Amino acid sequence: MSSLEWQRVDTLARQTKRRVFAGTRRSAKIAAHRTRNLAIQGMVLFKRAGRRLWNLRKPLVRWRYRTHRLQEQLSTYRDEWRVEREIERVVSGTGPIVIGPWLSEVGYEVLYWVPFVRWVKAAFRLDPERLWVVSRGGAGSWYADITPHYVEIFDEISPQEFAARNIDRSEGEGTNKQFGMSELDRMLMQRMEARLGTADISVLHPSLMYRLFKQFWSGHRPLNFLDSHTRYVKIAPPSVDLDALALPKEYVAVKLYAARSLPDTPANRAMLRALIESIAERWPVVLLDTGLNLDDHADYTFQSGGRIVSAKPHLDPRRNLAMQTQIIAGARAFVGTCGSLAWLAPMMGVDTTAVFTDARFLHSHLHAARRLYHVLGGGRFSPLDLSALDPLGLSLASRQVATLPAGPAPPPS
Amino acid sequence: MNVLAVAANLAGVAANRINRFGRHASKRVQRLWRAGHKGVESSVHVGRRAAADTLALPLRADKAATRTRKRIERFREHVVDPWLDQRAIERDLAALARGTDPIVVGPWLSEVGYEVLYWRPFLAWMVDRYRISPDRLVAVSRGGAADWYRGIASRYVELLELFTPEEFGARNAARRGSGDQKQLAHGDFDTEILERVTARHLGGRKPRVCHPSLMFRLFRRFWFGDRSLDFFLNHMRFERMPPPPGDVAGLPLRYAAVKFYTGAAIPDAPEHRRALRALVSRAAEQMPVVVLDTGLSLDEHRDFLFEDVPNVMLLGDRLTPATNLAVQTRVIARASLFLGTCGSLAWLAPMLGTPTVGVYADDRFLAPHLFVAKHAYRLMGAGLFTTMDLGAVDALDLIPELAASTGPRVRTVQ
């Protein structure tokens, strides 16, 4: 065969081969494409599914978060209901009810405990004759509209023993607040049983109030919660004989003690000294420093003389709160550390300046007090943040040159 | 004789026995009588008591029912209703967040204080909670408040570019007159603003609206004391505000920014003017004082001026209606101290890191805001915030400088 013929055969063979395999090649190419597309599509689908799965987490997280929040709220309500049931159990029956014994701070007693007891009495329509208040320092007048029966703790145990056992209690419980029944409480209850001649007594213990209001102080319950568990009224002062004090006709009562809101620092001491001097330039000052170390707040001590009178020599432990209450009630104004008797003074219609330098632990109390005094229509309550004066270059310095000699302030225990 | 004696003895014994028997018998009869009487008495008592108890049953049941009803009512009022409100608002917010439409946040027409202390942290929370891109948000406010929305909304529309200050003031006053200073509902003025914003800034694309009424409705119960601090903090995101860029010309290196205005916290009274004047004078002795007087009547508050006090400078014409808040923010951010009425910019200053003294004479309407502010500043690590009650200062003449001042009275912008 000639080369031309061989060429034709070769061309024919190639053409035949191309014709035979063309479809196959196209199919293979398409198959490869489709496979690749499928892989990509699979990847896309996988990614989408992954994203959907990941997004499924959102409602789950939200649901878990909501459940957690609801559980928290429910536990708050459960605690509240538990306390209310306990109160119902305490007040049921016809036997005497011991209210107290109050062993912790004066501030909590005035601002929360007394109004709480007043609410219990009103809500459960309790006969005042059934109620026996147990407190210390002659605080009976604060409860005068609740019950005529007041039992003085210092009639049962000496102030020294009380202070020692109360410190033990605070250390044992890790807090000064009465969140549970302590040995001291039990001992006082036994004395009450002996005094009343019956073992059939119910106890409305301060722990109920502390447990109930803890939710408010920690921000879990609103202010209305406090409103619905308290009754505030103006307080009438006791009739205590203050002749021995020879009080001036018009005076300003001052009670300054070391606390977390007004720590005992040289700067604060100087500022407070200047404050007293400044007030004394206008009006006589009656210092309500008791000299009694009954709790963890030690009074700032300032030397008296001239227009500054100290009630200290006349204050005996049994009647110290009654006398202080009476002195405040007769004052033109009250100036004191924000806490304790500063919460009481406006309830007696006395204009009050509550002094502090650190409000961190006061927020919820100030929040409650601000609203309460406006509603109650008592004396004007004016918080004075001493730390605000410094940036302004303002001082409480006296206009006169005379400087008040100040005794060393006892460190707060 | 013996027989007789025996008989007599026997008779005596018999008589004694009879006597004793009689005594015993009578005692027994008496005892029986007493026991019977007591039994009758006690059964009468028991009967009476049972009757009384039975009669008291409906009363006790009624008391228990009343107590339960009251509890349920209280629970509904204080728990269920607020929760339902909250859910409804949260659903509205979730609906807003869906999609890609632009979201107009505002228009803000009420007080500066609420905008700074509540609206901004609320928006920050909303953006974070519903993962909304800031690119979708368009903040609408007045006075050049753009810096306050940085990081929250990528766009800001100035209301005083949409309306003249006079027109805005009049329309806003009309809004306040017909309702409340707080934007509790979407009003006609809001609708008009939104129409203009849509037409001029969004190219006609209809936006979704996050109206301030949502925030006011959500927190109203908190302000009234029906919701807890926990609830409030769960719907807020408190963050410090970065200092705004740019400087205000002509300010000293170290100065105190002062802004006192009339309002519920400091009513316009001679004794307050005197006390404020003394405060500003005292501050001016320490460092130069820059008074943030706007001279604008955009709301019901009027500024106290202290132009004749030495070492005091006014911002004067550096404040224009459309930029006054921006300039005041810059001045406060660079100040060493802010002293002002407790409210409005006094809430802003600590967020900018400036130590602040908020002054008031009446805290009746301030209590919840002070409570919030203290917590907010702690959470965001803000500048020192303290308050001064003029009542405390004045009542006892605690700060001699204040009582000693007898200078001419300050005037207010009318």
B92 phi, psi to nearest 5 deg: -60, -45
> So what's the pLDDT on residue B73?
86
Q: Are residues B225 and B263 in the same domain?
A: no
Q: What is the mean predicted confidence (pLDDT) over A276-296?
A: 80
CB A219 within 8 A of CB B229: yes
Tell me the angle at which helices B188-201 and B165-178 cross, rounded to the nearest 10 degrees: 140
Question: Which amino acid type is present at position B316?
Answer: G
Asked if A223's CB is within 8 angstroms of B283's CB, the reply is: no
In this structure, what CATH number is given to the domain that contains residue B285? 3.40.50
> So what's the pLDDT on residue A404?
37
Query: Is the predicted pLDDT of residue B297 greater than 60, yes or no?
Result: no
Residue A145, SS3 per DSSP: coil
Which residue from A minimizes the CA distance to B233? A219
In whole angstroms, give the CA distance from residue A335 to residue A247: 17
pLDDT-derived band at B404 (thresholds 50, 70, 90) equals: very low
Query: Is the predicted pLDDT of residue B413 greater than 50, yes or no?
Result: no
Pairing outcome for strands B289-291 and B137-141: unpaired
Q: Are residues B228 and B348 in the same domain?
A: no
pLDDT in tens, A195-252: 999 888 999 999 999 999 998 998 888 998 999 899 999 999 888 888 877 888 899 9
> So what's the pLDDT on residue A184?
92
Q: Work out the mean pLDDT of chain A and round it to a whole number.
A: 86
Higher-pLDDT residue of B195 and A57 is B195
- Maximum average pLDDT range among A142-151, A258-267, B271-280: A142-151
pLDDT in tens, A90-100: 998 889 999 98
Asked if A384's CB is within 8 angstroms of B398's CB, the reply is: yes
Give the strand order in the sheet containing A351-356: A308-310, A285-287, A252-255, A333-337, A351-356, A381-385, B385-389, B356-360, B337-341, B256-259, B289-291, B312-314
In whole angstroms, give the CA distance from residue A242 to residue A329: 12
Which is it for the CA torsion B129, B134, B138, B141, positive or negative? positive
Asked if A399's CB is within 8 angstroms of B404's CB, the reply is: yes
Q: Are residues B129 and B199 in the same domain?
A: yes
Q: Are residues B159 and B229 in the same domain?
A: yes
Tell me the angle at which helices B81-97 and B212-223 cross, rounded to the nearest 10 degrees: 160
Q: Which of A351, A366, A383 sits opposite B395 (nearest CB)?
A: A351
In whole angstroms, give the CA distance from residue A147 to residue A164: 29
> So what's the pLDDT on residue B94?
92
Query: Is the predicted pLDDT of residue B71 greater than 50, yes or no?
Result: yes
Composition of chain A by helix, strand, coil, percent to 5: 55, 10, 35
What single-letter DSSP state applies at residue A141? G
Q: Which of A275, A382, A398 sits opposite B389 (nearest CB)?
A: A382
In a domain, residue B53? The reply is no
Burial call B275-291: b when 16+ CB within 10 Å, e when fewer: bbbbbbbbbbebbbbbb
In whole angstroms, give the CA distance from residue B401 to residue B281: 9
Least confident range from A278-292, B122-136, B394-408: namely B394-408
> So what's the pLDDT on residue A270?
86
Query: Is the predicted pLDDT of residue B402 greater than 60, yes or no?
Result: no
Higher-pLDDT residue of A397 and B10 is B10
pLDDT in tens, B160-208: 999 998 898 888 888 888 777 788 888 889 999 999 999 988 888 889 9
Q: Are residues B261 and B392 in the same domain?
A: yes
Max CA distance (Å), chain B: 152
**Alpha carbon B238 to chain centroid distance?**
16
Q: What is the mean predicted confidence (pLDDT) over A358-366?
A: 89
Residue B41, SS3 per DSSP: helix
Who contacts B162 (Cβ-Cβ below 8 Å, separation ≥6)? Answer: B193, B196, B197, B200
In whole angstroms, give the CA distance from residue A315 to residue A297: 17
Q: Are residues B114 and B187 in the same domain?
A: yes
Q: Work out the mean pLDDT of chain B and round it to a whole number.
A: 86
Q: Which residues pair with B337 in a beta bridge?
A: B256
pLDDT-derived band at A401 (thresholds 50, 70, 90) equals: very low
> So what's the pLDDT on residue A412?
35
Tell me the angle at which helices A206-217 and A3-91 cross, rounded to the nearest 10 degrees: 150
CB B160 within 8 A of CB B146: no
CB A339 within 8 A of CB A261: yes
Q: Are residues B267 and B362 in the same domain?
A: yes
| B401 contacts chain A (CB < 8 A) | yes
Residues in B 140-169 with any Cβ partner in A closer than 8 A: none
- The number of residues making up chain B comes to 414
Q: Are residues B210 and B315 in the same domain?
A: no
Of A299, A317, A302, A315, residue with least CA distance to A166: A317
Query: Is the predicted pLDDT of residue B114 greater than 70, yes or no?
Result: yes
Burial call B95-131: b when 16+ CB within 10 Å, e when fewer: ebbeeeebbbbbbbbbbbbbbbbbbbbbbbbbbebee
Query: Is the predicted pLDDT of residue B152 greater than 50, yes or no?
Result: yes
- Maximum average pLDDT range among A158-162, A385-389, B307-311: A158-162
Q: Are residues B198 and B306 in the same domain?
A: no
Please give the structure tokens belonging to residue A232: 């505030």
| B124 contacts chain A (CB < 8 A) | no
Annotation: CATH topology of A243-388: Rossmann fold (3.40.50)
**Of all helices (H) and strands (E), which one includes residue B357?**
strand B356-360
**Alpha carbon B345 to chain centroid distance?**
17
Number of domains in chain B: 2
pLDDT-derived band at B345 (thresholds 50, 70, 90) equals: very high
Q: Which of B234, B269, B289 is the last residue of a domain?
A: B234
Give one DSSP letter per residue of B149-193, joined into a string: GTTT-SEEEEHHHHS-HHHHHHHHHHHHHHS-SS--S--HHHHHH
Query: Is the predicted pLDDT of residue B288 greater than 80, yes or no?
Result: yes
Q: What is the mean predicted confidence (pLDDT) over A131-154?
A: 94
In whole angstroms, give the CA distance from residue B365 to residue B341: 13
In a domain, residue B319? The reply is yes
**Of all helices (H) and strands (E), which one includes residue A324?**
helix A320-329
Q: What is the mean predicted confidence (pLDDT) over B204-224?
A: 91
**Alpha carbon A48 to chain centroid distance?**
51
In a domain, residue B277? The reply is yes
Asked if A279's CB is within 8 angstroms of B395's CB, the reply is: no
In whole angstroms, give the CA distance from residue A250 to residue A285: 9
**What percentage of chain A carries pLDDT values higher than 90?**
47
pLDDT-derived band at B139 (thresholds 50, 70, 90) equals: very high
Which domain range does residue B164 map to?
A: 95-234
pLDDT in tens, B245-280: 888 888 899 999 999 988 888 988 888 888 888 888
Instruction: Please list every residue in chain B whose beta carbon sits closer than 8 Å to the beta carbon of residue A353.
Output: 392, 395-396, 398
Q: Which of A353, A391, A397 sits opposite B357 (nearest CB)?
A: A391
pLDDT-derived band at A378 (thresholds 50, 70, 90) equals: confident
> So what's the pLDDT on residue A392?
61
> So what's the pLDDT on residue A409?
39
Q: What is the mean predicted confidence (pLDDT) over A397-401?
A: 41
Interface ipTM = 0.76
Taking CB atoms and an 8 Å cut-off, how many pairs form between chains A and B? 118
In a domain, residue B21? The reply is no
Q: Are residues B262 and B230 in the same domain?
A: no
Pairing outcome for strands B337-341 and B312-314: unpaired
Residue ranges covered by each domain of chain A: 1-77, 93-227, 243-388
Give the strand order in the sheet containing A97-99: A150-152, A131-135, A97-99, A202-204
Q: Which of A69, A383, A393 sits opposite B285 (nearest CB)?
A: A393
Residues in B 225-244 with any Cβ partner in A closer than 8 A: 225-231, 233-234
> So what's the pLDDT on residue A408?
36
Asked if A363's CB is within 8 angstroms of B375's CB, the reply is: yes
Q: What is the mean predicted confidence (pLDDT) over A370-377?
A: 89
CA angle B287, B293, B299 (to 5 degrees): 145
CB B210 within 8 A of CB B96: yes
CB A311 within 8 A of CB A294: no
B366: exposed, middle or buried (C-beta count within 10 Å: 0-12, 13-18, 19+)? Answer: buried
Instruction: Please list every residue in chain A whose beta carbon sits closer than 8 Å to the beta carbon of residue B368.
Output: 367
Distances (CA, A) of B400 to A274, B396, B405: 11, 10, 9
